[in-house]
Amino acid sequence: MTLKDDVKTVCAWAPASLSNLGPGFDTLGVAISGIGDRVTVRRTRSESIVVIVDGPSKLPTEPRSNTASVAGLKVLELAGVEGGIRVELEKGIPFGSGLGGSAASAAAGALATNALIGFPLDEPGLAEATLAGETVASGSTHGDNAIPSLVGGVILVDAASPATYRTVQPGHEIFFAIVVPELHVETSIARRMLPAEVPLSDAVRNASSLAWLTESIRDGDIDLLGRMIMRDVIVEPVRAALIPCYDVIKSAALEAGAPGCALSGSGPAIFAVSGNAEQAERVTAAMDRACREAGFGCLALTSTIDPVGARIEESNQ
């Protein structure tokens, strides 16, 4: 390691994501525009270090526990590069929001590190590194946040092999009205609450709904999309019970004209879909109001699909 290596830095940004999208537990996610995490990486002689430059104090700073550094270190490992990394993490995504913050940090960390060492990994390698980061945060390997954050767009992940994925090209622009109530849902706890077994009829129904959901995205049928994201009979009913203001926010979204509304990931983020920007803004306002009237502060935003995913913002070499 030379002094020159030490001053070279790469900064990458990766978008937040909505995951599950109703019946798409662990398999369907979308990168969203306008909100994301920023990671700046430089190489170190041996020990790695994580510095939270902007974010809550409860974020892990141990390099083997922070998703950005785990993903970066995985890039080094896959590329066969020795040494460590210094990772500066700037959180734009609220901690524990259900907007895929851990995944976005991992995607940005992986991409920045790969750039830092001359891009030895291709996209599958970056996906593997990003998933490694995501896994350390959530306690399970699921790609429906990690892959959208990395590659952008609407992504169908193979639940049996999370590094395998494909893009579902939407036939119509999709807008999202999003509210994140100020309450915390721990992803790993939310996962443990899920039933070990489900009725066969529910499994059949969810499978059918997911296929209809991807078809509706392809066809750009936003009304059908809205109905289908509300058809999860397995995961969301369990998770929604953890979020006291969920029902009123969902009702407000539907009353304001949204075709559908669901939890993102394990929540507390709640999103509604819309086929036009104006309606989405109106729905966001209604959800925001309902959340505050229910006694919870919140972050509210209107977003759309981020088609790019993680990108290099700055490279000082």
DSSP designation for 110: H
Q: Which is nearer to its own copies, 3 or 160 (CB)?
A: 160
In the complex, minimum distance from the CB of residue 230 to its own copies, in angstroms, rounded to a whole number:
12
Which one, 45 or 166, has the nearer CB to its own copies?
A: 166
User: Judged by CB, which is closer to its own copies: 97, or 214?
Assistant: 214
In single-letter form, the type of residue at position 29 comes to G
Q: Which is nearer to its own copies, 165 or 246 (CB)?
A: 165
Identified binder of its own copies from the candidate list 1, 34, 120, 166, rule CB under 8 A: 166
Stretch that binds its own copies, among 4-12, 150-158, 264-272, 284-292 (CB under 8 A): 150-158
Q: Which of 5, 60, 212, 281 binds its own copies (CB under 8 A)?
A: 212
CB of 261 to its own copies, least distance (A): 19
* Binding window for its own copies (CB under 8 A); candidates: 83-91, 146-154, 201-209, 299-307: 201-209
- The reply on whether position 188 binds its own copies by CB under 8 A is no
Q: Which stretch binds its own copies (CB under 8 A): 25-33, 82-90, 170-178, 296-304?
A: 25-33
| Alpha-carbon gap, residue 10 to 75, rounded angstroms | 14
Indicate which single residue of 74, 231, 239, 282 sits in contact with its own copies (rule: CB under 8 A).
Answer: 231
CB neighbourhood size of 100 (10 A): 35
Query: Given phi > 0 = left and psi -120 to 50 = alpha, else beta, which region is 3?
Result: alpha
72 with 84: CB under 8 angstroms? Answer: no
Token pair for 107: 């995607």
Q: For its own copies, which residue of 211, 223, 277, 314 counts as binding (CB under 8 A)?
A: 211
Instruction: Say how far apart CA 228 and CA 251 lie, in whole Å.
Output: 16
For position 163 contacting its own copies by CB under 8 A, the verdict is: no
What secondary structure letter does DSSP report for 258?
-
Cα gap 267→264, rounded to integer Å: 5
Number of CB atoms found within 10 A of residue 317's CB: 11
Cβ atoms of 233 and 204 within 8 Å: the answer is no
Q: How far is the CB of 144 from its own copies (least distance, A)?
A: 10
Contact 51, 13 (CB under 8 A): no
One residue of 157, 253, 298, 310 binding its own copies per CB under 8 A: 157
Which H or E run contains 40? strand 28-44
Decide whether 189 or 277 has the Cβ nearer to its own copies.
Answer: 189
- Cα distances from 75 to residues 109, 120, 178, 235, 306, in angstroms, run 9, 9, 32, 33, 24
Size of the site for its own copies (CB under 8 A): 37
Structure tokens at 106: 């991992």
State yes or no: residue 210 binds its own copies (CB under 8 A).
Answer: yes
168/155 Cα distance (integer angstroms): 6
Among 156, 249, 261, 273, indicate the residue that binds its own copies (CB under 8 A). Answer: 156
Interaction site with its own copies (CB under 8 A): 23-28, 156-160, 166, 168, 194-200, 202-215, 218, 231, 234
